[in-house]
Amino acid sequence: MAPEMRRDGRRQSWFAWVCLAAMVAVAAWFWSLDKRSAALGTLVALGGCLALMLPPRERMRRLPWRLRALPRRLDAVPALASLLSSPGYGLNWFYGANPYDETVHLLSGVLAGAVFAALLLADGRARGAFRLVLAGAGSGLVLGIGWELFEWATGLIGDWTDTWTDVALTAAGSALGAAGWHGLARRRARKAGRQPAPAAWPDAALPPRRLGPSGRLSGG
């Protein structure tokens, strides 16, 4: 095995693989309940998660540098989002008299907010919590509106109150996720005795302004 492939394997998130194993278990459970479409849908989602996890994005220079620098622990986010929504589609929980739909929108927003914050902090610059919360809320608002437009286009949308509450919950969750990621980043920085910085990432994952003409780090 080439050294690059060994390093790629060591970068993988063990928690993301646990989430993928849980998706396999959920698909098997749906199959045992004769929910074949839900089982196949979960497996398709599993394939999508693998397609996002397995490529060595740190070495893929065609990707935007912020994506290359995204922490591997966030590879679990697509799998967690799939696990959150799977019972809604497989067991019709979205259509019951329960807070499941609202919970999914809120928690999905939290997951998305963490990713948005990690992308912003990828350059190593210190940013205040309030700024990140605003950015998370704005990104969640755009995400929520986009999802509601998808539901409208596919005929999944409920009444207007369902639409605006879903958007608001996604935006609120995204703000919470951004705040949470900011807190984790500050804690890691205090432990390391410095501000969050991309020094430990491969050269390919560093911002373009830090790279010289040859693609290697320029001095200073």
- Cα(74)–Cα(53) distance, integer angstroms: 10
pTM (whole model) above 0.85:
no
pLDDT digits (tens, 9 = 90+) for 112-154: 999 999 999 998 888 899 999 999 999 999 999 998 888 888 7
Residue type, position 188, single letter = R
Domain borders along the chain are: 1-97, 99-193
pLDDT digits (tens, 9 = 90+) for 23-75: 999 999 999 999 999 999 999 999 999 999 999 999 999 999 999 999 999 99
Residue type, position 93, single letter = W
- Cα(32)–Cα(179) distance, integer angstroms: 40
Q: Give the number of other CB atoms < 10 A from CB of residue 48.
A: 13
Q: Give the number of other CB atoms < 10 A from CB of residue 103.
A: 15
